């Protein structure tokens, strides 16, 4: 959406107009002016709707008297002293959800809003950010939409805001671009996004952003000994790919990078350990970790983050075939460790481990994070509200937790044994170095224990299981039903606070 900034709004301006109301029905300056122009229509509407300015509540007035606006939205901010960036983001998202198919433009009047928990520039920029995030739609394949079902909203105007608003809003726009790209990749079906086309889509999107792209094909992976990752993809007609993206905004080619690894199983049938048919269509988003990593890289490069960040995506399709990996097979990973594959549907960890080894050997990071829709067990534990985090470093966990709370990409720490500890022993194999599943219990934990065996000494690491957070069955304040873009804003915040010089 186009973002405009104006000092004031004329009474005869068309489109939707959003005005703010504090707890107890206290009208903002813009709302007071509209109350006068409409002959008291706002007050009557608020009384009829029992609207008192409670945080997050919105009341609509259609064709208000004495004004050119086609509709008014009265948005409650609650106690102004508690109205923070999140308050305004959520209001922006709610506004879009209400008018996206009915209005071409919306103006939000911040004139003389005072005593907020944040400055007016922050409030206004995050309001626009919320609109951008919630406004994403994937209508590419919806060819029979009626006019009244199509998205019309094309511009956001912020009224009465400081000059500093534009720069902050522009930065957040780049983050929203990354979230949108992640949602796009995750929403696309498996016949459109597969390893080769994922690479092509990313190459097209990052062109001109200053990101260096490296692609390894199946022959190169075989030469590197990536038997674990290649074993997952051997039953598919779509060959695997390892995609690496590098952004360096430090000016120092030798700066120590932050490494991000994404599971990119572009469709997961379960392989020979075939999944049940009902719901299998959802497995198009089993590449949600790779989608998040690609979105993060777009966001960081777009806003020119002063950090060096490596994003690596392990891209495979897991299919049953005469050549598919069998339960009981043993594969040798790039690290030289051997894995007994007891269940071919526990494939994400087999992809990630080779990507982790390659990334550590190639870039020598001191901090490494992986994102993966790894286990259904994490959904049982946390539903769709949190991503589970497993980490070998308390300080890294604390940074992730704080970043998640700041942007509402919420994470919750899960237990992890030291090497050789109780949970770690649960994946010991009698015939190989390890097996790719443990017993029925502690499924998310044993998956993390598997990955921890590939973390090299001295590397701070966190595994982020986003199986419940990447795709949600209900709409939220900043996303529609479906892909959420989880992880992009989380890592953008982490990088801004801890990895930028």
Catalytic residues: 275, 349
Cα angle for residues 394, 463, 89 (degrees, 5° grid) = 85
- For residue 223, the 8-state DSSP code is H
**What burial class does residue 114 get, using C-beta atoms within 10 Å of its C-beta: 0-12 exposed, 13-18 middle, 19+ buried?**
exposed
Lookup result for tokens 């199509």:
150
Q: What angle do CA 140, 144, 150 make, to 5 degrees?
A: 65
CA distances to 410, 467, 470 from 396, in Å? 15, 21, 21
Alpha carbons 459 and 392: distance in angstroms, whole number = 9
Q: Quick check: helix, strand or coil at residue 251?
A: coil
Check if the beta carbon of residue 110 is closer than 8 Å to that of residue 123.
Answer: yes
Residue whose structure tokens are 């460790």: 337
Give which of 317, 244, 253, 327 is closest to 286, Cα–Cα: 317
Residues with Cβ within 8 Å of 120's Cβ and at least 6 positions away in sequence, in order, are 110, 113, 160, 161, 162, 165
Q: Where does 341-473 show beta strands of DSSP type E?
A: 367-372, 387-391, 411-413, 434-435, 460-465, 471-472
Tell me the C-alpha distance between 270 and 420, whole Å: 29
Give the residue from 295, 242, 239 showing the smallest Cα distance to 264: 242
The alpha-helical segments, DSSP class H, found in 317-389 are 348-363, 377-382
Strand 387-391 and strand 460-465: the pairing is: antiparallel
Tokens at 199, concatenated: 């690479």
Which string of b and e fits 463-488 if b means at least 16 CB within 10 Å? bbbbbbbbbbeeebbbbbebbbbbbb
Q: How far apart are CA 181 and CA 262, in angstroms?
A: 15
Distance separating alpha carbons of residues 350 and 435, to the nearest angstrom: 10
**CA–CA dist 40, 48 (Å, integer):** 13
Distance, C-alpha 60 to centroid of its chain? 30
d(CA 419, CA 429): 15
Are 286 and 374 contacting, i.e. CB atoms less than 8 angstroms apart?
no
What the block records as the tokens of 385 is 């509200």
């Amino acid at each position: 959406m186009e973002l405009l900034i104006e000092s004031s709004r004329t009474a005869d301006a068309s489109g939707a107009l959003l005005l703010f109301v504090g707890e107890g029905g206290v009208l903002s300056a813009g709302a007071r002016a509209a109350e006068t122009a409409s002959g008291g229509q706002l007050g009557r509407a608020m009384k009829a709707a029992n609207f008192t300015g409670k945080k997050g509540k919105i009341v609509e007035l259609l064709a208000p008297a004495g004004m050119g606006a086609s509709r008014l939205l009265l948005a409650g901010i609650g106690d102004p002293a508690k109205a923070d960036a999140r308050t305004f983001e959520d209001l922006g998202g709610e506004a879009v959800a209400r008018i996206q198919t009915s209005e071409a433009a919306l103006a939000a009047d911040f004139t003389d809003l005072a005593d907020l928990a944040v400055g007016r520039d922050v409030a206004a920029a995050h309001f626009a950010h919320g609109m951008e995030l919630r406004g994403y739609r994937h209508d590419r394949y919806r060819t029979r939409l009626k006019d009244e079902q199509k998205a019309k909203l094309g511009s956001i105007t912020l009224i009465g805001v400081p000059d500093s608003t534009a720069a902050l809003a522009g930065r957040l726009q780049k983050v929203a671009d990354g979230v949108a790209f992640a949602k796009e990749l995750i929403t696309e079906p498996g016949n459109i996004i597969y390893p080769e086309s994922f690479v092509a889509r990313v190459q097209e999107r990052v062109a001109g952003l200053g990101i260096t792209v490296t692609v390894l094909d199946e022959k190169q992976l075989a030469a590197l000994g990536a038997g674990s990752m290649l074993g997952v993809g051997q039953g598919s007609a779509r060959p695997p790919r390892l995609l690496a993206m590098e952004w360096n905004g430090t000016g120092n080619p030798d700066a120590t990078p932050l490494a991000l690894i994404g599971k990119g199983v572009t469709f997961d049938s379960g392989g020979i350990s075939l999944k049940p048919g009902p719901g299998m269509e959802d497995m198009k988003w089993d590449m949600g970790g790779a989608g998040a990593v690609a979105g993060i890289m777009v966001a960081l490069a777009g806003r020119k983050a002063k950090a060096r960040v490596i994003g690596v995506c392990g891209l495979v399709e897991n299919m049953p075939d005469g050549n598919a990996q069998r339960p009981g097979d043993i594969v040798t990973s790039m690290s030289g460790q051997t894995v007994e594959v007891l269940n071919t549907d526990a494939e994400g960890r087999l992809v990630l481990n080779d990507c982790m080894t390659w990334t550590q050997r190639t870039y020598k990071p001191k901090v490494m994070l992986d994102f993966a829709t790894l286990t259904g067990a994490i959904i049982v534990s946390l539903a769709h509200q949190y991503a589970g985090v497993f980490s070998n470093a308390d300080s890294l966990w604390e940074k992730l937790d704080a970043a998640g709370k700041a942007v509402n990409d919420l994470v919750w720490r899960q237990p992890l044994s030291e090497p050789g500890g109780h949970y770690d022993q649960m994946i010991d194999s009698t015939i190989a170095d390890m097996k790719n599943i443990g017993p029925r219990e502690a499924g998310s934990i044993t998956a993390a224990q598997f990955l921890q065996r590939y973390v090299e000494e001295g590397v701070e690491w966190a595994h982020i299981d986003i199986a419940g957070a990447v795709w949600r069955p209900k709409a939220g304040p900043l996303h529609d039903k479906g892909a959420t873009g989880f992880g992009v804003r989380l890592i953008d915040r982490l990088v801004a606070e801890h990895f930028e010089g």
